[in-house]
Structure 1
Amino acid sequence: MPNETDQEYAEKQLHSDPSSWVEKYADYLYGFAMSRLRDEDVAKDLVQDTFMAALQRLKGFEGNSKEKTWLTAILKNKIADFYRKRSGNSLNDLRIMGIEGELKDFFDAESGHWTEKDYPRAFGLEPHNPLMMKELGSILNECLAKLPGLWFSVFSMKHMDDLSSELICTELKLTAANFWVIMHRTKLNLRACLQKNWN
Structure 2
Amino acid sequence: MDVTNENPKTLLENWVNQFSDELYCWAFYKTSSKETAEDLVQETFLSAFHKIDTFQGKSQPKTWLFSILNNKVIDYYRKSAKTTKQTFSLTENSGFELSEGMFNTYGCWKSNDVKAIWDQEEELLDNPEFNEVMQECMEDLPQKWKLAVTSKYLSDKDTTDICQELEISSSNYWQIVHRSKLLLRKCLEIKWV
TM tier, smaller: 0.5 to 0.7
The letter of the residue matching 1:9 is: T
Q: Superposed, which structure 2 residues align to 1:12-23 within 5 Å?
A: 17-23=11-17
Q: Which residue of 2 aligns with 1:176?
A: 137
Aligned to 2:158: none
Residue by residue over 1:109-148, the C-alpha shift from the partner in whole angstroms, topping out at 9 and shown as x without a partner, is 755x532xx32299xxxxxxxxxxxxxxxxxxxxxxxxxx
Report the alpha carbon displacement of residue 163 of structure 1 after superposing the two structures with TM.
10
Question: 1:79-158 residue pairs with structure 2 within 5 A?
Answer: 79-97=73-91, 98-107=94-103, 114-115=109-110, 118-120=111-113
Q: Deviations over 1:31-54 (max 9, x none)?
A: 111122222112111101101111
Give 1:33's aligned residue: 27
* Matched residue, 1:44: 38
Residue type of the alignment partner of 2:113: P
TM score, norm. by length of structure 2: 0.53
Deviations 1:65-99 (A, max 9, x none): 22222111111222222233333331122222313
Give 1 or 2 for the bigger CA radius of gyration.
2
- Cα drift, residue 8 of structure 1: 7.2
2 CA distance for matches of 1:84 and 1:30? 20
Contact 1:99 1:181 in 2 (8 A): no
Q: Secondary structure at the match of 1:9?
A: coil
Q: Is the 8 A contact 2:102 2:109 kept in 1?
A: yes
Which whole-Å CA distance do the structure 1 matches of 2:190 and 2:80 have between them? 18
Number of residue pairs matched?
A: 137
Work out the CA distance in 2 between the residues paired with 1:168 and 1:48.
Answer: 28
CA distance in 2, matches of 1:90, 1:22: 33
**Residue number among 68, 84, 87 corresponding to 2:62 in the alignment:** 68
Distance 1:107 1:23, change over 3 A: farther
User: 1: CA distance between counterparts of 2:95 and 2:189?
Assistant: 9
Q: Which amino acid aligns with 1:10?
A: N
CA contact (8 A) 2:3 2:57 kept: no
Match of 1:193 in 2: none
Equivalent position of 1:9 in the other structure: 4
CA RMSD of aligned residues (A): 4.2
Structure 2 portions without partners, runs of 5+: 141-183
After the TM superposition, list the runs of 4 or more consecutive aligned residues in structure 1 that deviate by more than 6 angstroms: none
| Cα distance in 2 between the residues matched to 1:100 and 1:165 | 30
Sort the Cα spacing of 1:164 and 1:110 in 2 relative to 1 into closer, same or farther, 3 A: farther
